[in-house]
Amino acid sequence: MIGAMRDVIVAANWKMNTTPADAAELARTIVSRTREAGVIRVICPPYVCLAAVGEAVADEDPPVAVGAQNVHHELAGAYTGEISAPMLASLATWVIIGHSERRRDAGETDELIGRKLGRAVGAGLRPILCVGEQLADREAGRATDVVDEQLAGALEDHEPTALADAGLVIAYEPVWAIGTGRNARGSDASEMADAIRSTLEHHGWGSRTAGVPVLYGGSVTSANIDEFFSEPAIDGALVGGASLKPDEMAGIVARAGMTARARGAAR
């Protein structure tokens, strides 16, 4: 599959922001301003806002997907305060896994993230697996090695077919770019997307590799999104801070629409 065939995706990671009432309102405003054919829009609000956002966007055309920001690695049991994949299945169709804030704050390891991936896929959720290096890794020239290790650790117990069929998406989010206002360069993101696809090939993904969407995340705004969509290896964005601002989302998704149209014309 060539790049032109891959999905174009803009995913909003609202993190720990909004109440159910504001989330529904914000979702309605954003979706009404981001209707672009060929762009998959995904809104990932806090767990407690999933139902409200789902209802708010239910009649949207093109449709809007709702995603969770995390999922537990077990199906059920004595895990106070946690949420499992089967619980999410009627509220969301996507899930973010392995976000760097969870690696940092909840000590998530690649092995645990791999288990979460399995649970997500088992419940029919489309996973966005986040990977990315720290600043010190990049400065030491180890960025691709770190991302390679994260991917290998998360993917090692999974059959490529199962994850490819689930529509696995990989988000490259350099940790030093998240919430800092300091975005990576488009060329760095593109090089990393190529490295990610090489890692997948190395792990037996074969021709499925070319169909895996790779998103960039880290201080994406309407002002810098062009830099990422200008790179054919990048298929979209995972947007944090700017995803809470309707004007920003309108600009970002409009630029995504240009890529979707160009890819459609190339088919």
Q: Summarize as ranges the residues that interact with ligand PGA (CB under 6 A).
A: 13, 173, 178-179, 217-220, 238-242
Q: Is 82 among the catalytic positions?
A: no
Q: Which is nearer to ligand PGA, 203 or 245 (CB)?
A: 245
What is the token pair recorded at 251? 């600009």
Q: Which is nearer to ligand PGA, 137 or 263 (CB)?
A: 137
- Between CA 110 and CA 261 the distance in angstroms is 36
Q: Which residue number is nearest to ligand PGA in terms of Cβ?
A: 240
Q: Which is nearer to ligand PGA, 122 or 246 (CB)?
A: 246
Q: How far is the CB of 242 from ligand PGA (least distance, A)?
A: 6
Q: How far is the CB of 100 from ligand PGA (least distance, A)?
A: 7
Identify whether the C-beta of residue 154 lies closer than 8 Å to the C-beta of residue 110: yes
Q: How far is the CB of 134 from ligand PGA (least distance, A)?
A: 14
- Which one is catalytic: 173, 227, 231, 248? 173
Q: Is 158 among the catalytic positions?
A: no
- Which one is catalytic: 72, 99, 108, 133? 99
Identify whether the C-beta of residue 215 lies closer than 8 Å to the C-beta of residue 233: no
- Residues designated as active site: 99, 173
